[in-house]
Amino acid sequence: MDYSLDAITLNFQPGNLLALNIILALLMFAVALDLKPEDFRAVARAPKGPLAGIATQLLLLPAATFVLVQLIDPIPSVKLGMMLVAACPGGNVSNFLVWLARGNTALSVSMTAVTSCAAVVMTPLNLAFWASLDPDTRALLAEVAIDPARVFVTILLILALPLAAGMLLRSRLPDFSARIQRPMRMIGGVIFLGFIVVAFYNAREYLTIDILPVLGIVIIHNAMAISLGYAVARSLGLPSRDRRAISLEVGVQNSGLGLALIFNFFAGLGGMAIVAAWWGTWHLVGGFTIAMIWSRFKPEQESNSHA
């Protein structure tokens, strides 16, 4: 792979960076409108499935990604981008995909809620730990002098506070929350997509054949994440609906958070940004394809056939 990717920097003005953070916070607020305290209590009532999924998401995926990075050995910024994506919590679209796949939607929502809150601590912790084990990524971390406390504050503002505000609004004004949830998700999603399109249009001179290998790496990485979730769930003897939920939840990462962190702390470093952007596109394609295939089979039938 061309090392010139490491020299690519997608620059954003402070106003654009602020806009990205606000958009992501609004999206998380919209997701929180669909969450309630019972979602967290469900984790405690039936802990095996949720704990397996959460452990896979927060612990096993970053570890497996580190192994994959050593095997593929891409350029440093791509390595760090893969580690960052793996350190992010599950993406909110996973809940829809699990529902479409006839999986356990309640389990998916619980995992999204818990991993999103845990990301305040686990995302910077996982990134700092695994990146420090590789000489190339350790050098990049040292070069940008990332401040874990600042990462914590950024994730707190982008994830934790919007989640708390959305859940509070739902509990106080449930009817109003139900009315605004769909429009907020649609508007926020369109604005976010437009922001990324404009950003890459402004850097179109960098979008050459040299970046296409990154897409292949992202596809392999995403397939590994989905397979890891399914394998762990199956090894624990979880029912088919839980296996579907965990595999899609682990395979759909919050790449929007990853992009926000890249632009906040890594100056839009090209290899990292391209990994996160490709992931944000591909996990929808791959996840939707798998969900559509699973939707054709009732979970009980799949369990009986040991699929």
Q: How far is residue 123's CA from residue 100's CA, in Å, rounded to a whole number? A: 28
59: Cβ–Cβ under 8 A, 6 or more apart, which residues? none
Q: Which residues, 6+ apart, have CB-to-CB distance to 255 below 8 Å?
A: 85, 88, 91, 276, 277, 279, 280, 283
pLDDT at 221: 95
DSSP classification of residue 211? G
> What would the two tokens of residue 180 be?
């605004």
Percent of the chain's residues with pLDDT above 70:
79
* pLDDT top residue among 140 and 71: 71
**Would you state the torsion angle of the CA atoms of residues 183, 15, 120, 118, taken in this order, to the nearest 10 degrees?**
20
Give the tens place of pLDDT for each residue, 84-108.
999 988 876 787 788 778 888 778 8
Q: How confident is the model at residue 270 (pLDDT cuts 50, 70, 90)?
A: confident
What CATH code would you report for 3-302?
A: 1.20.1530.20
Q: What is the pLDDT of residues 203-228, one digit of tens each?
A: 555 556 667 788 889 999 999 999 99
pLDDT tens digits, one per residue of 32-65: 777 777 766 766 777 888 899 999 999 999 999 9
Domain ranges of the chain: 3-302
pTM, to two decimals: 0.75
